[in-house]
């Protein structure tokens, strides 16, 4: 637990310059170290009394333990901790460009080249965690921070991370609904879930990066698709609607299919993600380049892909209530992605032309 620093507290050593973000448990500020002039991010946990405080403190201790045990180029680094009368401060490496979340919203979606660049780092970071028996358990675009405009990323927020024993497992219900793996949602099911939950969450983020909207969402609920978010996840029910996925190469879809596999035993591992042709072969993507495509694709059997699922979502979404939104519209009439911090991204049709031409043609793209 953070050590006490009487007389040489946080405020003596750092100057707070403004707020960077706010989560459920903490407020994050930008701060300058007075001695060096260096900027850091400071995560401040107010001390409170009352119900829930015990588990908050336990969670904080866990986060500190994990942060102190990791040291990887794609993991946010903990510089110092202060345990003061009213608050605990974690001094963290600053991510100057903020959340990947904001980057996706600004750009509407990422290209395959950009996405691959981000995911090679994420796969390496999560592989590092998994090798150390750490499961992050809350991977989502808000917890992926951008260090620079060249898309160097670091994974943040170890508040839910858990150090697990080689043979042990964890069954606490945690994570953010849209990104949570199906095995976590199985009610009353105390069966094991382990590292595979991070692979699932990364699969959801990968999907969002490439098209700008989520694979599972309550906004997809309709007469034709009468499934709640939780049911969609448990069934692994998602698709790659045209035209949004038309320019994304099959290898990317194959990787997403393998990451969003409901059966934990069959789900791809993080090592396999790193070895997957989409990750390894810069020339594989149809959008990026067709060079070397035939040879590189030889190892993949796309005929095994799940059958086409007719897309029914666009016409069924309307009147979405939004609390915290950033809306963008790409020049080529992409749908407006509205991102609600509490629910994740979803379509906003109030600003989009009703997409007659955008409605997917059944079987148009064999995905
Ligand atoms: P949650 O509710 O997701 O558990 P939390 O209370 O644990 O959140 P964080 O997610 O760690 O808090 O931080 C909240 C936000 O602060 C982040 O989403 C991000 O926008 C910002 N933030 C956190 N750490 C940094 C950092 N090192 N550099 C820049 N911004 C940061």
Establish whether residue 42 lines the binding site of ligand 1, counting it when its CB lies within 6 angstroms of any ligand atom: no
Output the CA 79–ligand 1 centroid distance in Å.
Answer: 16
Q: Are strands 327-328 and 337-340 parallel, antiparallel or unpaired?
A: antiparallel
Question: Which residues fall in the annotated binding site for ATP?
Answer: 44
What pLDDT score does 71 carry?
Answer: 92
Ordered mean pLDDT values, 10 residues apiece, the chain (367 residues)? 61 94 88 96 86 70 84 93 89 94 86 95 96 90 93 89 57 70 72 81 96 87 77 92 92 97 95 96 49 38 38 27 27 40 40 34 37
Establish whether residue 64 lines the binding site of ligand 1, counting it when its CB lies within 6 angstroms of any ligand atom: no
In 8-99, which residue ranges form alpha helices assigned H by DSSP? 10-13, 53-69
What pLDDT score does 67 carry?
Answer: 87
| Nearest partner of 203 among 246, 233, 162, judged by Cα | 233
Q: What is the ipTM of this complex?
A: 0.95
Output the CA 98–ligand 1 centroid distance in Å.
Answer: 9
Q: For ligand 1, atom 29, which residue shows the shortest CA distance?
A: 95
Helix axes 196-211, 250-259, angle to 10 degrees: 150
Catalytic residues: 138
Establish whether residue 41 lines the binding site of ligand 1, counting it when its CB lies within 6 angstroms of any ligand atom: yes
What pLDDT score does 109 carry?
Answer: 87
Q: For ligand 1, atom 23, which residue shows the shortest CA distance?
A: 28
Helix axes 100-107, 196-211, angle to 10 degrees: 30
Q: Report yes or no: 55 and 36 within 8 Å, Cβ to Cβ.
A: no
Could you give the 3-state DSSP secondary structure of residue 346? strand
What is the arrangement of strands in the sheet containing 14-22, beginning at the earlier edge strand?
14-22, 27-33, 39-46, 87-92, 78-83
Establish whether residue 227 lines the binding site of ligand 1, counting it when its CB lies within 6 angstroms of any ligand atom: no
Output the CA 47–ligand 1 centroid distance in Å.
Answer: 18
What pLDDT score does 33 carry?
Answer: 96
Q: Report yes or no: 338 and 327 within 8 Å, Cβ to Cβ.
A: yes
Q: How far apart are the first and last CA of the chain?
A: 50
Q: Which residues lie closer than 8 Å to 346 by C-beta, 6 or more apart? A: 213, 214, 217, 219, 317, 320, 337, 338, 339, 340
Q: For ligand 1, atom 15, which residue shows the shortest CA distance?
A: 21
What pLDDT score does 23 carry?
Answer: 79
Distance in angstroms (rounded) separating the CA atoms of residues 8 and 6:
6
Q: For ligand 1, atom 16, which residue shows the shortest CA distance?
A: 21
For tokens 């969402």, what's the residue? 217
Output the CA 157–ligand 1 centroid distance in Å.
Answer: 6
Establish whether residue 139 lines the binding site of ligand 1, counting it when its CB lies within 6 angstroms of any ligand atom: no
Question: Which residues fall in the annotated binding site?
Answer: 44
Establish whether residue 91 lines the binding site of ligand 1, counting it when its CB lies within 6 angstroms of any ligand atom: no
Distance in angstroms (rounded) separating the CA atoms of residues 135 and 65:
13
């Amino acid at each position: 637990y953070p050590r006490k620093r009487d007389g040489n507290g946080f405020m003596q050593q750092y100057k707070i310059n403004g707020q960077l973000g706010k989560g459920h448990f903490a407020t994050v500020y930008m701060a300058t170290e007075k001695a060096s002039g260096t900027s850091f991010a400071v995560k401040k946990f107010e001390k409170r009394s009352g119900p829930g405080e015990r588990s908050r403190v336990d969670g904080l201790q866990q986060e500190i333990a994990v942060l102190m045990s990791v040291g990887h180029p794609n993991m946010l680094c903990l510089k110092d901790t202060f345990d003061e009368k009213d608050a605990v401060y974690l001094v963290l490496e600053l991510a100057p460009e903020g959340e990947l979340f904001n980057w996706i919203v600004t750009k509407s979606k990422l290209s395959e080249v950009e996405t691959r660049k981000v995911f090679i780092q994420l796969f390496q970071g999560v592989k590092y965690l998994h090798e150390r028996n750490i499961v992050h358990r809350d991977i989502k675009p808000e917890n992926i921070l951008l260090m620079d405009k060249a898309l160097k990323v670091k994974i943040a927020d170890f508040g839910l991370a858990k150090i697990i024993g080689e043979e042990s497992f964890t069954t606490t219900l945690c994570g953010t609904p849209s990104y949570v793996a199906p095995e976590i949602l199985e009610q009353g099911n105390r069966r094991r879930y382990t590292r595979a939950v991070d692979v699932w969450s990364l699969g959801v983020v990968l999907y969002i990066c490439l098209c700008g909207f989520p694979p599972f969402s309550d906004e997809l609920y309709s007469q034709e698709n009468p499934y709640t978010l939780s049911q969609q996840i448990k069934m692994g029910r998602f698709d790659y609607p045209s035209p949004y996925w038309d320019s994304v190469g099959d290898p990317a879809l194959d990787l997403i299919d393998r990451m969003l596999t409901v059966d934990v035993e069959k789900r791809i591992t993080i090592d396999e993600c790193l070895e997957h042709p989409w990750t390894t072969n810069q020339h594989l993507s149809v959008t990026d380049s067709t060079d070397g495509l035939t040879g590189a694709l030889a190892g993949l059997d796309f005929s095994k892909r799940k059958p086409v699922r007719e897309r029914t979502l666009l016409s069924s979404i309307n009147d979405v209530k939004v609390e915290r939104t950033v809306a963008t519209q790409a020049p080529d009439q992409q749908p407006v992605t509205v991102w609600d911090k509490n629910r994740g991204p979803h379509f906003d049709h109030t600003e989009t032309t009703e997409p007659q031409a955008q409605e997917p043609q059944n079987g148009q793209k064999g995905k």
